[in-house]
Structure 1
């Protein structure tokens, strides 16, 4: 049976298509599920207020045992695990909402819970056998066991395929050797999802391919290194984990042998949404804290919240947080649907939210003035905690390459087929005719029909610049061919175009739902936010589109080359 590729909203943009039924209406939780989640959130919020002391956690560099016990008692260690295995069976949207709530108070706690569920045990949920699920998930759901994800090595960060850890098959065991670094929950975990090179047959020849293994802490030969001294998320456990001749039973193989890289990528796809939702929670706290200060602090005879430059920051923080929420929960809704490819949308959510949060905290700290720099206020801690977000679970640079190259893949295949058909046009007339029809159709462009008409100015920009993106995609493939993978200046601009187009769509969809539900008058504040965000976003898209041809790439390459050659600032 032929593999049917799932649809993706973002990937379709590269072909000039707007698959609006994927993103309209906005996927709000409804009815009983919404009410149940609200009760959970109320319990989590109360627990955070009463039991979690973020400054103490940051200062003592650990999460107290009573907090971990409380998280388990609330069921928060098994949110994504099905009820059949002792979990909560929460949807992706529900899970993201809980991580958001935890992140309002403590990034260390949110990262610990997220490291356990988003990535630590996710492989068992996705690829585990029934026996593996029955054996491990109940303990993980109850919080009796904590899970960790072991992928990164000293010599293998973004380039995960170059790792050196090996698992050699010996009878009914794998002999595991190697070391992993920067393992979240490394010092407290009882179960590790470990990725290692294994020998597999590929077309009759032996090749090294990555496989995933379930490794429990009670096995001989596992050494946990010292806790890392970190800039932020200091209460979370981050350690090296070393494996020396660890005998892992063959039944602990997770998924197919040699399929571990795909397993890791699938785990990270959904894990990135936990990060995005954590950014939303942190943003909410920063806005609230800054507003309290701006409404009380007086300078030159009036409150600083009355000054336009402060108001500009507050507006930017509000608009960007709304956009962060929109893209996060739209993408979480795509995960819950189960019938679409959300890999690119998840990457967009992670990049967009982590970078907007970093900018937002900078604005929030600036509003606070000197107070924001002091430890008695939360801003300096939130600043330190948020910096790692742009690095782990895929650096934002790598994810930009992933976004651009994944999207260019389909147009590239089409152009390759057309180039082949041109060599024998008489025999391939049908294929060429199909391409011509699609080309003419793309020039006319897809239309958005499911958004509210009040937002026509905004959604018409999505239509217009989707056509631009399609033209840019075809242009760069023709221009650079296979070398496009090396053209990172170009790929970054394409990724930026896609990110802005997708987030614009998410905001338009959410505000359209608000207009339908409340009417235009009661949704006027959200309409203003939509217009503000989209006005900034489409101008960025236009700029990146134009810079495909008009840029300073050669000069930047020359300047960086001289600095690298000298090994220091060259002047």
Structure 2
């Protein structure tokens, strides 16, 4: 599937903080072409015909249902949509693969985990780091469904601290002998191939391709989990398992490159899956609100319910806007790298690595939007939300894992800021110059001129968000350089900054989307609905920005300097108050009338 690289310079990862983005070059989901819409329909038809009728079987893991469904997806080419044609893949572009993930996240229940684990963390390590022989041996059979894959990283003593793994690999002639234990391994119950990480010589973290039939490889019982019960999750044990030397993956001692780079893609895909899940969940809530009669009218008529539907709809719209903005950036970077002579695999790896900051932000933004939505859908159902007769409890349980795997949301918050500061220190991003300009601006008188143009206030608000983040992050970095604080030990400050970055990414992406839709006449309804979503999000984001900035600076500054910074915070959070009750109702009323999420 072809894509077009614009003449616009592709923004680097993290550059959204300091660069003015051109909204006319961003991609919005309203622009899907006919071929992409056909792919979306194909995936939805598969879900309707193969997954929905089997949701109970999936939930109970009956009839070997998950691997059989993976094989049926393979018949449609959906296990290799992101893979090179030389191995049997379809080489679809990033936006199309993002769309596939979003649709799969909507109505696939626990099977979403089986699909995502196989196509993502189970296949990409071989594509990115495998030898040509390893790719030829495994990728065609993973793409056609003959083989199913699993990813073995986590251990009882190493979760977020992946490099602390204890599983050992000792070279013995023509094989490495593996001993150790992995836990929380998705697809373990039916996997034919395991991507396993172990310590060679005790301290060289390394990846291996381990076939399931090797002597000494055994599985624990299926875990009894809170949610995603339909996904196979087991412990994997290695007792003197002899893995051929030719099955080591990448360089010895460089396994961290495999683990971290694959997780970048996993975090991005998790956001796409979460957006699909949130849309589906909200649709279930809207339909119930329209059907449930109390006081002689549907509960959808009541303001408290309209708030829930409108707010969830706005958060999903903002999250989807950021999703496809970053998807387009990854796609453009991938295209640029291939034009520069990189291979398919190299370009995929480097483009995902480039936007690691955005992927970390999207991971916690998407999973928390989904969690908010499913929680409110349970509440809309009232007592029925606690009954297994409805979908609400299952969606509620299944959602919770998303804030934990692919790196906890806390880890992703810390990583996003750490990576941003590292890029600045290496000179990959010039944050010092813009931060210094903000400091000089604070020393002058604020302008009394009001922004002009239809979205003047919104454009100014987003620009001020950037200045505010630069002010706070710059002050924190200066305090660290002066030896007054150690940011590694001040995680609360880093998390404040991460939340500000997340709000900026979604606010600017939503503004870009709405402006492009207005210019090009895109969308399913009146621009009034999109404007309502944008202005409500900015109103609320302004309050969050003010609180996060205040909480952060008050953690490491005091006295007259704190008063100065407080004035700066007020200066950069002046977006005019909005009648959010009215605006949320505009969004809610449209969704309620449509009886679905159709923004």
TM-score range, shorter chain: 0.7 to 0.9
Between the aligned partners of 1:443 and 1:552, the Cα distance in structure 2 is 21
Match of 1:421 in 2: none
Match of 2:474 in 1: 474
Task: Give 1:69-108 correspondences, 5 Å limit.
Answer: 69-108=71-110
Q: For 1:10, which of 4, 7, 14 is the aligned residue?
A: 14
Could you tell me how far 1:399 is from its partner in structure 2? 0.7
Range moving further from structure 2, 79-88 or 63-72:
63-72
**Structure 1 residues 442 and 523 mapped into 2: Cα distance closer, same or farther (>3 Å)?**
farther
Q: For 2:137, which of 135, 141, 165 is the aligned residue?
A: 135
* Cα deviation code 1:282-310 (max 9, x no counterpart): 11112211111211222223221111111
Match of 2:35 in 1: 36
Match of 2:457 in 1: 457
Between the aligned partners of 1:11 and 1:442, the Cα distance in structure 2 is 19
Match of 2:407 in 1: 394
**Structure 1 residues 301 and 552 mapped into 2: Cα distance closer, same or farther (>3 Å)?**
farther
Could you tell me how far 1:322 is from its partner in structure 2? 0.7
**Structure 1 residues 541 and 295 mapped into 2: Cα distance closer, same or farther (>3 Å)?**
same
* Cα deviation code 1:437-473 (max 9, x no counterpart): 972377459xxxxxx9532222211211211111211
Could you tell me how far 1:7 is from its partner in structure 2? 5.8
**Structure 1 residues 107 and 11 mapped into 2: Cα distance closer, same or farther (>3 Å)?**
farther
Which blocks of at least 5 consecutive residues in structure 2 are unaligned? 1-9, 337-350, 443-451, 559-599
Could you tell me how far 1:253 is from its partner in structure 2? 2.0
Task: Give 1:154-173 correspondences, 5 Å limit.
Answer: 154-173=156-175
Q: Does 1:369 align with 2:368?
A: no
Between the aligned partners of 2:218 and 2:512, the Cα distance in structure 1 is 50
**Structure 1 residues 519 and 397 mapped into 2: Cα distance closer, same or farther (>3 Å)?**
closer
**Structure 1 residues 373 and 519 mapped into 2: Cα distance closer, same or farther (>3 Å)?**
closer
Equivalences, count = 513
Between the aligned partners of 1:317 and 1:28, the Cα distance in structure 2 is 19
**Structure 1 residues 378 and 474 mapped into 2: Cα distance closer, same or farther (>3 Å)?**
same
Between the aligned partners of 1:70 and 1:227, the Cα distance in structure 2 is 24
**Structure 1 residues 293 and 547 mapped into 2: Cα distance closer, same or farther (>3 Å)?**
same
**Structure 1 residues 29 and 290 mapped into 2: Cα distance closer, same or farther (>3 Å)?**
closer
Between the aligned partners of 1:155 and 1:440, the Cα distance in structure 2 is 46
SS at match of 2:553: coil
Match of 2:46 in 1: 47
Task: Give 1:182-193 correspondences, 5 Å limit.
Answer: 182-193=184-195
SS at match of 2:91: coil
Q: For 2:256, which of 254, 258, 261 is the aligned residue?
A: 261
Could you tell me how far 1:28 is from its partner in structure 2? 4.2
Range moving further from structure 2, 309-318 or 510-519:
510-519
**Structure 1 residues 442 and 83 mapped into 2: Cα distance closer, same or farther (>3 Å)?**
farther
Between the aligned partners of 2:413 and 2:472, the Cα distance in structure 1 is 16
CA contact (8 A) 1:25 1:509 kept: no
Task: Give 1:500-539 correspondences, 5 Å limit.
Answer: 500-518=503-521, 522-539=526-543
Range moving further from structure 2, 385-394 or 454-463:
454-463
* Cα deviation code 1:23-56 (max 9, x no counterpart): 752224799x832232222122122112223541
Between the aligned partners of 1:377 and 1:438, the Cα distance in structure 2 is 51
CA contact (8 A) 1:10 1:498 kept: no
Between the aligned partners of 2:57 and 2:299, the Cα distance in structure 1 is 32
Match of 1:314 in 2: 309
Q: Please report the TM-score for the alignment, with normalisation by the length of structure 2.
A: 0.80
CA contact (8 A) 1:11 1:407 kept: no
CA contact (8 A) 1:401 1:491 kept: yes
Could you tell me how far 1:485 is from its partner in structure 2? 0.5
Task: Give 1:55-454 correspondences, 5 Å limit.
Answer: 55-57=55-57, 59-62=59-62, 64=65, 66-199=68-201, 208-337=203-332, 338=334, 341-411=354-424, 439-440=436-437, 443=440, 453-454=453-454
Between the aligned partners of 2:101 and 2:391, the Cα distance in structure 1 is 19
SS at match of 1:406: helix
Could you tell me how far 1:103 is from its partner in structure 2? 2.2
CA contact (8 A) 1:297 1:304 kept: yes
Between the aligned partners of 1:503 and 1:322, the Cα distance in structure 2 is 9
CA contact (8 A) 2:71 2:146 kept: no
Between the aligned partners of 1:552 and 1:229, the Cα distance in structure 2 is 44
Match of 1:423 in 2: none
SS at match of 1:330: helix
Could you tell me how far 1:435 is from its partner in structure 2? 7.0
CA contact (8 A) 1:442 1:467 kept: no
Match of 2:493 in 1: 490
**Structure 1 vs Structure 2 CA RMSD:** 2.8
Could you tell me how far 1:68 is from its partner in structure 2? 3.4
Which blocks of at least 5 consecutive residues in structure 1 are unaligned? 1-5, 200-206, 418-433, 446-451, 555-571
Match of 1:202 in 2: none
Between the aligned partners of 1:30 and 1:375, the Cα distance in structure 2 is 35
SS at match of 2:213: coil
Between the aligned partners of 2:522 and 2:29, the Cα distance in structure 1 is 19
Could you tell me how far 1:230 is from its partner in structure 2? 1.0
